[in-house]
Structure 1
């Protein structure tokens, strides 16, 4: 987290949280969702400003309830997720082995892998708690070149390194958020809480 953000939190500790306005889409793009986009259930406009993207990525975290957020100075902006809290890209490094990097460009070292029932590939890392990430769909061909799948396509193995094979475990997309402990829509959760308090 940026030091300027830490200072703002100390100076203004009681700024209300914000939900619904920021989305991380299935391809790792940050999107702004104005009221019209939220009303339509639309993804919103991609953020293209390089400095703003860097600021969001440096101040992106997850709370104890599994809700992802961007700490925008003193205000916590909860993030709607297109799928998982992280999106990774797969590439071949200049030295030859495969590398994974998250939407912020940071290295992502996979510890386990899954195939969901809609054809998406997911990875978790060894962090505590583990981060769960979906593979960008543009990288499925490269993934396939290093994977072997069972006949029914529900499992297999991924050759991450010459000496490291990751078993591909099946998972249902609808179970991913619950299984990995994240909230895909903090805005929907907030709305449920508001209805429950009426």
Structure 2
């Protein structure tokens, strides 16, 4: 968390939180949701300002009930999640070493891999509690190059850097939030 945010929290400790105004979509894009977007159920406008994106990413966290928020100075802005609190990109460097990087630019070391009924790929890491990250759909080809799928395409193995073989487990999309302890749509009284 930025020092300026910590200072604002001390100076103004009782600023009410807000919900509905910020979304992390299924592809890891931060979106601003005005009243019209919220009323229509639209994902809102993508945030493109690099400094603001950096500020959001540095001050992104979860509360004790699994609701993710951006600490905007003294105010918590709870985040609507398009799927999971983290979205990862999968790439291979020139030597074929795989790298997973989350939307905030951090590395993600997978310890488990899942597939949902829509073909979405999810990774979990070893943090406590485990973080859940959905794979950006543009990286499915890279994933498939390093995976062996069973005939039903709901099971198989993922070969992580030729060192670790992670079983590919089926997981219903509707069960992901409960399994990993996060809230997709924070309560209005957060």
Is structure 2 residue 90 aligned with structure 1 residue 90? yes
Q: Which residue of the partner structure matches residue 16 of structure 1?
A: 16
Q: Which residue of the partner structure matches residue 2 of structure 2?
A: 2
Q: Matches of 1:93 and 1:109 in 2, distance apart?
A: 16
Give the 3-state SS of the residue equivalent to 1:106 in structure 2. Answer: coil
Q: Matches of 2:127 and 2:10 in 1, distance apart?
A: 28
Q: Which residue of the partner structure matches residue 127 of structure 2?
A: 127
Q: Which residue of the partner structure matches residue 183 of structure 2?
A: 183
Shift of 1:142: 0.6
Q: Matches of 1:147 and 1:133 in 2, distance apart?
A: 17
Number of matched pairs:
190
Shift of 1:95: 3.9
Q: Which residue of the partner structure matches residue 157 of structure 1?
A: 157
The answer (yes or no) to whether the contact 2:70–2:78 under 8 Å persists in 1 is yes
Q: Which residue of the partner structure matches residue 43 of structure 2?
A: 43
TM-score, normalised to structure 2, is: 0.98
1:141-188 CA-to-partner distances (Å, cap 9, x unmatched) read: 1100110111111111001121211111100001111111110001xx
Q: Which residue of the partner structure matches residue 196 of structure 1?
A: none
The answer (yes or no) to whether the contact 2:18–2:188 under 8 Å persists in 1 is no
The answer (yes or no) to whether the contact 2:113–2:124 under 8 Å persists in 1 is yes
* Higher helix residue share: 1
1:85-135 CA-to-partner distances (Å, cap 9, x unmatched) read: 000000012443100000011111111110011100000111111110000
The 5 Å alignment of 1:110-121 reads: 110-121=110-121
The 5 Å alignment of 1:142-153 reads: 142-153=142-153
The answer (yes or no) to whether the contact 2:129–2:180 under 8 Å persists in 1 is no
The answer (yes or no) to whether the contact 2:16–2:76 under 8 Å persists in 1 is yes
Q: Which runs of 5+ in 2 are unaligned?
A: none
Moved over 4 A (4+): none
Q: Matches of 1:163 and 1:61 in 2, distance apart?
A: 31
Give the 3-state SS of the residue equivalent to 1:190 in structure 2. Answer: coil
Q: Which runs of 5+ in 1 are unaligned?
A: 194-198
TM-score, normalised to structure 1, is: 0.94
